[in-house]
Amino acid sequence: MADQITNYQCPSCTGPLQFDPATGKLVCEYCGSAYSVEEIEQLYAKKDEQAAQNSAAAAGSPAPEGSPWSEAEAAGLKAYNCPSCGAELIFDATTAATSCPYCGNPTIVPGELSGALRPEWVIPFKLTKDEAIAALKKHYKKKPLLPKMFSNQNHLEEIKGVYAPFWLFDGDAAGDAKYDAKKVRHWTSGSYDVTETSYFECFRRGSLQFQRIPVDSSTKMPDEHMDAIEPYDYAEMKPFSTAYLPGYMAEKYDVSADDAEARAQKRAEQSLLDAMKGTVEGYSSVSVASQDVSFLRSGLHYALLPVWLLNTNWKGKSYLFSVNGQTGKLVGDLPIDKKRKWGWFFGVFFGVTAVVLAIAALL
């Protein structure tokens, strides 16, 4: 366990550096200097190494008897000192980057993202905080069932940019399936209507290669949200560096790859089944008689992908929205106004019924 944490300081003025999604550089809030990720990486390479060594040393030594934090540690909490202001910080076990609540400086726990835990890839934030908030405002539009006061009265309780840990699975799905298919033809012969039904049995065996199916590996991130904000553009994926993290929170995984694999497997298998069924063409109807597919993992990658999490509160209930930090895609469930729901239901019902009756009366 790391007992030292880092924050990236401006080489010119020692002010805290923040990652700027617009320029892709680390910018000093105080003197305005900007540095590329590579420059900062080189500068801090030594410091990172030092931290890793310390972390390894600390992991070997048992916790001292009667330590004041043993209880907290048992509950999955860890204590550090902020390198900027010296305040004591308490993180939970999976936090790898955050901000100091006292001085506001971005802080990284290198031990949580190094060695075996070091992510292979990172997609840097491209979407700014303001753009994420704008995406939420846009999300409220064209929603007839949204309570009228929701968008005005609810207030943004918390907004945080999080590098969410994902497992990316490579693998192959393979299998076979049997289908019952029918071809139906109609024609008239003399004074008879003739219907001819031809029955077929179809068989398909095939395989599909998959690359980097993402499965979020943090229990803090709701699975539905992380699935729904896909896709990420992997072309912009960069080799991991902690220099992308300042200014954001970062989580480390707490769902093992083996546990997460089931979700990737299910999706890959369904894709194969659908693709094979798609090749049963030229029939009037096709039904699946039997199917047998399996997924074999061939590669595994660990990546941090950017997510804006927006927490809002309305009438004592909190609503969570997630925004893809790269593409701006926003997801999140909204409350439904019951009066509006029934208003629409009966409005449409009576309206359509009246129109159909009017048409029926004319025919």
Partner 1 sequence: MKKRIVTLFLTLLMLLSLSAVAFAYSEGGMPLVTDAAGLLTEDENAALNELADELSAEYACEIIVVTVDSLDGWNVEEFTEAVYQQYGFGCGAEKDGVILLLSMEARDYDMAAYGYGNVAFTDYGKDALMDGVLPYLRENDWYGAFHEFIISCGSYLASARAGNPIDYYYTPAPPITPGKIILAVIIGLITALIVSGVQKGKMKSAILQTRADRYMKELNLEQREDNFLRKETHRVKRQTSSSSGGSRSGGGTTVRSSGFSHHSGKF
Residues 40-79, mask of contacts with partner 1 (x by CB under 8 A)? ----------------------------------------
Q: What's the rounded Cα separation, in Å, for the pair 4 and 182?
A: 68
Residue 26 beta carbon to partner 1: minimum distance, rounded to whole angstroms: 31
Peptide bond into 101 cis (omega under 30): no
Window 223 to 252, contacts with partner 1 (CB under 8 A): 223-225, 227-228, 230-231
Q: Which of 192, 235, 316, 317 binds partner 1 (CB under 8 A)?
A: 192
Residue 295 beta carbon to partner 1: minimum distance, rounded to whole angstroms: 10
Name the DSSP class of 151.
H
Residue 334 beta carbon to partner 1: minimum distance, rounded to whole angstroms: 5
Q: Which of 33, 271, 291, 327 binds partner 1 (CB under 8 A)?
A: 271
Window 323 to 352, contacts with partner 1 (CB under 8 A): 330-336, 341, 344-346, 348-352
Assess 255 for contact with partner 1 (CB under 8 A). Answer: no
Question: For residues 153 and 279, which CB has a smaller minimum distance to partner 1 in the complex?
Answer: 279
Question: For residues 69 and 319, which CB has a smaller minimum distance to partner 1 in the complex?
Answer: 319
Only one of the segments 73-81, 87-95, 199-207, 296-304 lies at the binding site for partner 1 (rule: CB under 8 A); that segment is 199-207
The stretches of 109-243 forming alpha helices (DSSP H) are: 129-139, 150-153, 223-228
Window 284 to 313, contacts with partner 1 (CB under 8 A): none
Window 125 to 154, contacts with partner 1 (CB under 8 A): 142-146
Q: Which of 25, 78, 212, 252 binds partner 1 (CB under 8 A)?
A: 212
Q: Which amino acid is at 256?
A: S
Distance of CA 295 to CAs 71, 236, 246, 256, Å?
Answer: 43, 27, 38, 18
Question: For residues 59 and 289, which CB has a smaller minimum distance to partner 1 in the complex?
Answer: 289
- Phi then psi for residue 128, to 5 deg, are -80, 170
Q: What's the rounded Cα separation, in Å, for the pair 253 and 350?
A: 53
Residue 3 beta carbon to partner 1: minimum distance, rounded to whole angstroms: 37
Q: Which of 276, 293, 305, 323 binds partner 1 (CB under 8 A)?
A: 276
Question: For residues 257 and 334, which CB has a smaller minimum distance to partner 1 in the complex?
Answer: 334
Distance of CA 322 to CAs 36, 125, 225, 244, 269, Å?
Answer: 28, 14, 6, 20, 27
Count residues contacting partner 1 (CB under 8 A)?
77
* H/E stretch holding 307: strand 285-314
Residue 355 beta carbon to partner 1: minimum distance, rounded to whole angstroms: 8
Only one of the segments 70-78, 93-101, 220-228, 309-317 lies at the binding site for partner 1 (rule: CB under 8 A); that segment is 220-228
Question: For residues 115 and 351, which CB has a smaller minimum distance to partner 1 in the complex?
Answer: 351
The stretches of the chain forming alpha helices (DSSP H) are: 37-60, 70-74, 129-139, 150-153, 223-228, 257-278, 338-362
Q: Which of 137, 201, 235, 317 binds partner 1 (CB under 8 A)?
A: 201
Question: For residues 24 and 222, which CB has a smaller minimum distance to partner 1 in the complex?
Answer: 222
User: Which is nearest to 243 in space by CA: 103, 39, 22, 11?
Assistant: 39
Q: Which amino acid is at 87?
A: A
Q: Which residues 6+ apart lie within 8 Å of 115 measured at CB?
A: 52, 55, 56
Yes or no: say if 159 and 129 are a contact pair by the CB < 8 Å rule. Answer: yes
Residue 142 beta carbon to partner 1: minimum distance, rounded to whole angstroms: 8
Assess 362 for contact with partner 1 (CB under 8 A). Answer: yes
| Residue-by-residue DSSP string for 36-71 | -HHHHHHHHHHHHHHHHHHHHHHHHSPPPTT-TTHH
Question: For residues 70 and 279, which CB has a smaller minimum distance to partner 1 in the complex?
Answer: 279
Assess 37 for contact with partner 1 (CB under 8 A). Answer: no
Residue 144 beta carbon to partner 1: minimum distance, rounded to whole angstroms: 6
Name the DSSP class of 234.
G
Length of the chain: 363
